[in-house]
Chains A and B, each alone.
Chain A
Amino acid sequence: MFKALLKKQLLEINSNFFRNNKTGTRRSKKSGIMLICFFAFVCFYLGFIFFQMANGLCSSLFEANLGWFYFAMMFTLAIMMGVVGSVFNTYNSVYQAKDNDLLFSMPIPSKFILLARTVGVYIMGLFYCSLITIPTIIAYCMYSKATFLGVVFSIITAIIISFIVLILSLTLGYLVAKITSKMKNKTLFVVVLSVVFMVLYIYFVSISNNFISSIITNGGEVANKVKIFAFPLYAIGQSCIGNILCLLGVLFATILIMLLVYYLLWKSFFNLSINHSNQTAISRKTTLVQQNISLSLIKKEAKRLFSSSTYLLNSAIGALMSVIAVIFLFIQQQTISSLSSMLYEGLSSLLVLAVMLIFGSMNTISASSISIEGKSFWILKSLPIKPIKILHAKTNLHILITLPFTLLVGICSSIALKLSVINAIIVCIVGAVAVVGFALLGVLSNLRHPNLNWVNEIAVVKQGLPVFVSMFGSWLFIGILAGLYFAFASIITATTYLYIVSALIISITALEYYLLRTVGVKQFEKLC
């Protein structure tokens, strides 16, 4: 019984790799392998960033006989990464899964259902924290005098770390479910809580460079403070370098807390899940008034976005990041102003454009806007509206949400880098066109890879291939543009390159729009 549940859970997670959601058939080997390779590339890239960070700390801390502190720091970061990465979907995948009612109606003990869901959460957490734990161990092997025992113990501790991530994710998911079960506006609460989490995470990451520098220069003192005030971290660090007592202590403490958390969750799982599937009816007075069709369509899209914390948080994260970027610019304005005096006007303009492109491409609202229709897709298909109007509504909502924030980043960066008015206007216009391009790319990729049969919306807003293609495809494009600039910097001026890039972005956006009107409309008509 549990095996069947587990298989279903794993299928849900891996469906993108092995199943074509558009046709419902199994993917070809070639397409599956290509997807896996792409995924592996992204993992490798992220892992490499953390490897660089580990590399910076490893040799200096081991030389100072503070190897345990190296592991304590890196594994704490891994815990943070794992929790932030998986906490957003724990609440949804454990308590709000659409098949909760179906599974509860079957003769399956709730502990098995919870366990299967827990495995799903564990895999997500393991994935995120492995992006740090694996590079940490590799750096340890490469840049210190690693012992066999140390390697084995650090691997065991890394596995324990993945369970600590699970404990924290489950606890936070439980708390959110418990609190929201008595609340009317659940979406708002989840959004606020998640934003707080994210801001804290970004804050820690932003101070990490200074922190790492202080560790390298003043490691002993910081390590002593950690030993006194954060003993569990000390124990984790010690267990990695071969202290068997610490390893056993960490292991037993983790097992004990895990069992306790699981018991607590199991006892309340049924009630909390049922509570969420039988939501209290909230009354919202609406007057029946006629509206313009386009306005009605875009309002429908907006209602869908703002009704789901999962959709909003995963798809409109760029808006939040833009605000954080603006705050950062404000705080660091002196440093940035001094930087501007060292840069040519053309190069500053390119820099502002790059910043706008990066933040403008972080929103993926349109990339899941077709799939998010799910089983109610028939409504749009049966209504007498031209497909292009529907696709416009989806694109326009993305633009409406993204553009103001991207422009804000563009304007603030232009002021900080002291761009001339003309250049600032050009950069902002091109940045705005790029936002339109990103929105179109999202809709086009979602039309190419739709998934209307999802059970949990996480499958389309977070794990969907179109989201991946839209965000990383945009970043790849930005990376290529940056690479080309450095390759040709000696023969082309920054201003000329800015004009070339502007023309390229405008042309690509125009091409995307043409594709939306032709291929996109045809693909929409074929969907059912």
Chain B
Amino acid sequence: MLKIKNLCKSFGEKKAVDNVSIEIANGEIYGFIGHNGAGKTTTIKACTGIMPFDSGEIEIDGVSIKDKPILCKSKIAYIPDNPDLYEFMTGNQYINFVADIFSVPTETRKKITKKIADVFELSQDLDKSISSYSHGMKQKLAVISAWIHSPKLIIMDEPFVGLDPKASHSLKLMMREFCDNGGSIFFSTHVLEVAEKLCDKVAIIKNGQIVASGKMQDVKGDKSLEKVFLDLEDGEKNV
């Protein structure tokens, strides 16, 4: 579903992403972990077509995002690390806007919105202005608008930040259900316990380079993901 091949992106002299390659198949939840400034968000933004990259290739469902960005974007949904949504709209207006862009029929958008808003207990607030929403409410709205057009791939940057425990739990269930139905998810997180329990595959990025990747069991072995991650971090310090 998502194929990143030798991705490179620099900001001036600094190499933010250096030769990153990742492959995500249908039905997989792929975790992306790394310290702050490691290159997670840059990689994610490149995958969503928001940020141009220097070299390498990104394919979504076999289509190059460089060659056909619109087609690729129509297959994905993106939730950024900080949900800066249109504060001048109400929740429903925002959902309508996103659904219009993806040409989601009226009945489908109503059905999906009701289902997820009920799960997140957001139904009562959808007619309120987004400017009055808390961070968590904005995150929930971003999730609804990501699911509204039934994408094939969902890319999320720190999706659990700001969510209450109940909403976090609901989102994890939704993610699993989405992938069980053939979708794929690529998400970054700092919550290693969540990644360990939820992900089928994981990649650890450090200073722009992938230092470990593969099936969760292969990456962590007998240790916890946290231990593996910390060992990799310490490795650099020892060197």
Contacts and interface: CB of A to CB of B under 8 A. Distances in A.
B98 A383 contact: yes
9 contacts: A283-B128, A288-B99, A289-B106, A304-B86, A307-B88, A376-B85, A378-B50, A378-B78, A381-B50
B100 interface: yes
Given A290-B104, A290-B109, A308-B88, A384 B71 contact: yes
Interface in A272-293: 279-293
Nearest to A283: B127
B239 to A, nearest CB: 32
Interface of A: 279-293, 295-297, 299-300, 303-304, 307-308, 374-376, 378-379, 381-386, 525-526, 528
A300 B95 contact: no
A300 B104 CA distance: 17
B96 A375 contact: no
Question: Which 10 residue pairs of A and B lie closest in terms of their CB atoms, listed nearest first?
Answer: A307-B88, A281-B132, A296-B100, A384-B73, A384-B74, A375-B84, A286-B92, A281-B128, A381-B50, A528-B51
Contact of B84 (A290, A299, A378, A384): A378
Nearest to B106: A290
Nearest to A303: B88
Contacts, number: 109
A295 B101 CA distance: 10
Contact of B50 (A299, A300, A307, A382): A382
B97 A300 contact: yes
A308 B104 CA distance: 29
Contacts of A308: 88
B55 interface: no
A460 to B, nearest CB: 15
Contacts of A386: 70
Given A286-B90, A376-B86, A381 B49 contact: yes
Interface in B60-103: 70-74, 78, 80, 82, 84-90, 92-93, 95-103
Interface in B92-133: 92-93, 95-106, 109-110, 113, 125-129, 131-132
A292 B100 contact: yes
B27 to A, nearest CB: 23
Contact of B70 (A292, A295, A384): A384
Given A308-B88, A381-B50, A528-B52, A288 B127 contact: no
B88 A288 contact: no
B3 interface: no
Nearest to B146: A382
Interface of B: 45, 48-52, 70-74, 78, 80, 82, 84-90, 92-93, 95-106, 109-110, 113, 125-129, 131-132
A293 B90 CA distance: 18
B49 A288 contact: no
Contacts of B85: 376, 379
Contacts of A381: 48-50
A304 B129 CA distance: 13
A430 B16 CA distance: 50
A374 B88 contact: no
B129 A289 contact: no
Contacts of A291: 96, 100
A525 B70 CA distance: 12
Contacts of B84: 374-376, 378
B157 to A, nearest CB: 10
Chain B CB within 10 Å — which of A289, A296, A384 has the most?
A384
Contacts of B51: 528
Contacts of B90: 283-284, 286
A279 B70 contact: no
A288 B129 contact: no
B86 A300 contact: yes
Contacts of A297: 101
Contact of B129 (A282, A290, A299, A378): A282
Nearest to A526: B52
A286 B103 contact: no
A293 B101 contact: yes
B101 A385 contact: yes
Nearest to B128: A281
A409 to B, nearest CB: 30
B101 A279 contact: no
A300 to B, nearest CB: 6
A283 B126 CA distance: 9
A382 B80 CA distance: 10
